[in-house]
Amino acid sequence: MEEVKFALKEVRKRKKVTQVELAERTGIHQQSISRYESGGKIPQIDTAYRIAQALGVSLDELIIIRNAHDHIGEQFIKLSKKKTEK
Protein backbone atom coordinates (compact mmCIF):
# COMPACT_ATOMS: atom_id res chain seq x y z
CA MET A 1 0.00 0.00 0.00
CA GLU A 2 1.22 3.48 -0.80
CA GLU A 3 0.68 6.77 0.96
CA VAL A 4 0.32 10.00 -0.99
CA LYS A 5 1.28 13.25 0.68
CA PHE A 6 0.92 16.77 -0.66
CA ALA A 7 4.09 18.38 0.76
CA LEU A 8 3.05 21.98 0.21
CA LYS A 9 3.99 23.31 3.63
CA GLU A 10 7.52 21.92 3.51
CA VAL A 11 8.16 23.24 0.01
CA ARG A 12 6.55 26.62 0.70
CA LYS A 13 8.67 27.15 3.82
CA ARG A 14 11.82 26.03 2.01
CA LYS A 15 11.08 28.64 -0.65
CA LYS A 16 10.43 31.25 2.11
CA VAL A 17 6.96 32.08 0.83
CA THR A 18 4.04 32.83 3.16
CA GLN A 19 0.56 31.45 2.63
CA VAL A 20 -0.63 34.98 1.82
CA GLU A 21 2.09 35.43 -0.82
CA LEU A 22 1.27 32.07 -2.36
CA ALA A 23 -2.41 32.96 -2.43
CA GLU A 24 -1.58 36.21 -4.25
CA ARG A 25 0.67 34.42 -6.77
CA THR A 26 -1.85 31.70 -7.56
CA GLY A 27 -5.23 33.33 -7.06
CA ILE A 28 -6.10 30.51 -4.66
CA HIS A 29 -7.75 31.53 -1.42
CA GLN A 30 -5.34 31.50 1.56
CA GLN A 31 -7.78 29.35 3.53
CA SER A 32 -7.64 26.70 0.80
CA ILE A 33 -3.86 26.74 0.93
CA SER A 34 -4.05 26.25 4.68
CA ARG A 35 -6.37 23.25 4.21
CA TYR A 36 -4.01 21.75 1.62
CA GLU A 37 -1.14 22.08 4.05
CA SER A 38 -3.02 20.52 6.95
CA GLY A 39 -4.20 17.61 4.84
CA GLY A 40 -7.83 18.61 5.27
CA LYS A 41 -8.22 19.03 1.51
CA ILE A 42 -6.36 17.71 -1.52
CA PRO A 43 -6.08 20.04 -4.52
CA GLN A 44 -7.16 19.12 -8.01
CA ILE A 45 -4.25 18.45 -10.37
CA ASP A 46 -4.58 21.78 -12.18
CA THR A 47 -4.52 23.63 -8.84
CA ALA A 48 -1.49 21.65 -7.68
CA TYR A 49 0.22 22.53 -10.96
CA ARG A 50 -0.49 26.26 -10.44
CA ILE A 51 0.96 26.02 -6.94
CA ALA A 52 4.07 24.25 -8.23
CA GLN A 53 4.58 26.91 -10.90
CA ALA A 54 4.16 29.72 -8.35
CA LEU A 55 6.78 28.10 -6.11
CA GLY A 56 9.13 27.34 -9.00
CA VAL A 57 9.17 23.60 -8.40
CA SER A 58 8.02 20.51 -10.25
CA LEU A 59 4.82 18.76 -9.36
CA ASP A 60 6.99 15.81 -8.27
CA GLU A 61 8.40 17.94 -5.44
CA LEU A 62 4.92 18.66 -4.11
CA ILE A 63 3.54 15.13 -4.31
CA ILE A 64 5.32 12.50 -2.28
CA ILE A 65 4.37 8.86 -2.73
CA ARG A 66 5.89 6.44 -0.31
CA ASN A 67 5.38 2.88 0.60
CA ALA A 68 3.18 2.70 3.70
CA HIS A 69 5.46 0.03 5.15
CA ASP A 70 8.40 2.45 4.97
CA HIS A 71 6.29 5.10 6.68
CA ILE A 72 5.32 2.70 9.48
CA GLY A 73 8.97 1.78 9.89
CA GLU A 74 9.94 5.45 10.15
CA GLN A 75 7.28 6.04 12.81
CA PHE A 76 8.50 3.02 14.77
CA ILE A 77 12.09 4.29 14.68
CA LYS A 78 10.99 7.74 15.91
CA LEU A 79 9.03 6.23 18.78
CA SER A 80 11.94 3.98 19.70
CA LYS A 81 14.32 6.93 19.79
CA LYS A 82 11.97 8.94 22.01
CA LYS A 83 11.74 6.08 24.49
CA THR A 84 15.51 5.61 24.65
CA GLU A 85 16.09 9.34 25.12
CA LYS A 86 14.01 9.39 28.33
Domain span at residue 78 reads: 2-85
pLDDT in tens, 58-73: 988 888 766 655 555 5
Residue 5 banded pLDDT, cuts 50, 70, 90: confident
pLDDT in tens, 17-41: 999 999 999 999 999 999 999 888 8
Indicate the number of domains in the chain. Answer: 1
Give the mean model confidence (pLDDT) for residues 49-58. Answer: 94
Single pTM value for the model:
0.70
Q: What is the CATH number of the domain that holds 8?
A: 1.10.260.40
What b-and-e string marks burial along 3-30, b requiring 16 or more CB atoms within 10 Å of the CB?
A: eeebebeebbeeeebebeebbeebebee
The rounded distance, in Å, linking the Cα atoms of 72 and 86 is: 22
pLDDT for residue 69: 54
pLDDT for residue 6: 84
The rounded distance, in Å, linking the Cα atoms of 29 and 8 is: 15
C-alpha distances out from residue 79 to 3, 5, 21, 58, 67, Å: 20, 21, 36, 32, 19
